[in-house]
């Protein structure tokens, strides 16, 4: 299982934007988020078809994943206000698809592998729909969650690194369950931030939501593989 990652860049909820501008940011974020899924699928298909990530296990896989992910996120942050921001983000999502392909290959090794993948996809879509609905009806300020979510992500990273070398199935299950909970709440927080006008850049907003979705999907797929995988 790849390590869960997210970007912690709190923006004050005290910022106010006209309603039309907030709607524009939200609309552009959703369009870019949908577009970003295409390179992810392509990257996963390339990875599964070529087996290029098959050897990325243990410490090597961790180094490649973390190094590539943070390099891309740094580049996105630097280009988010320019025309290069969208292509860099799409390049990042292709990379993440490649990194996800090893888990997908393992799940496809089960007799019911395609069903598990579709179930994980449907579950992730359901979580997004629920969090998007909650973000529109919750009126209270959720900015206080930021520091606790950040601590939770750091704990997940540490636990994931340790479990890579320990190789515990129970540890993977615990990390996956915790990741689903933390990144679902992070999704709510990020959506609320956009709706309230705390996030004004749709590239940054799409990146945050993409990482939330990626980690929920990955963790759901890992759990489904552990509990629901059927051998031939």
CA distances from 113 to 71, 100, 208 (A): 32, 15, 28
Q: Please say if the pLDDT value at position 150 is more than 80.
A: yes
Residue 176: predicted pLDDT: 93
Encode pLDDT of 71-106 as tens digits: 999 999 999 998 899 999 999 999 999 999 999 999
Residue 157: both structure tokens together = 């990273």
Binned at pLDDT 50, 70 and 90, residue 4 comes out as very low
Parse the chain into domains and list their residue ranges: 19-228
Is residue 48 within 8 Å of 100, Cβ to Cβ? Answer: no
pLDDT at res. 3 = 45
Predicted pLDDT of residue 2: 44
CB atoms within 10 A of CB 198: 23
Whether this model's pTM surpasses 0.85:
yes
Question: What proportion of the chain, given as a percentage, has pLDDT over 90?
Answer: 59
């Amino acid at each position: 299982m790849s390590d869960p990652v997210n970007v912690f860049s709190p923006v004050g909820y005290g910022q106010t934007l006209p309603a039309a501008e907030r709607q524009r940011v939200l609309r552009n974020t959703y369009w870019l988020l949908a577009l970003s899924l295409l390179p992810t699928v392509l990257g996963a298909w390339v990875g599964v078809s070529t087996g290029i990530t098959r050897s990325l296990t243990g410490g090597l896989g961790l180094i490649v994943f973390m190094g590539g992910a943070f390099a891309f996120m740094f580049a996105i942050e630097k280009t988010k206000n320019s025309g290069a921001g969208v292509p860099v983000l799409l390049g990042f999502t292709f990379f993440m698809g490649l990194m996800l392909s090893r888990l997908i290959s393992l799940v496809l090794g089960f007799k019911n592998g395609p069903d598990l993948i579709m179930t994980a996809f449907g579950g992730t879509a359901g979580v997004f729909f629920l969090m998007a609905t909650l973000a529109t009806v919750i009126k209270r300020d959720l900015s206080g969650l930021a520091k606790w979510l950040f601590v939770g992500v750091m704990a997940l990273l540490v636990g994931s690194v340790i479990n890579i070398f320990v190789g515990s199935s129970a540890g993977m299950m615990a990390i996956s369950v915790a990741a689903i909970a933390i990144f679902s709440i992070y999704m709510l927080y990020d959506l609320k931030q956009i709706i309230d006008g705390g996030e004004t850049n749709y590239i940054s907003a799409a990146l945050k939501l993409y990482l939330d979705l990626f980690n929920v999907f990955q963790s759901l797929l890992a759990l489904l593989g552990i509990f629901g995988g059927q051998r031939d």
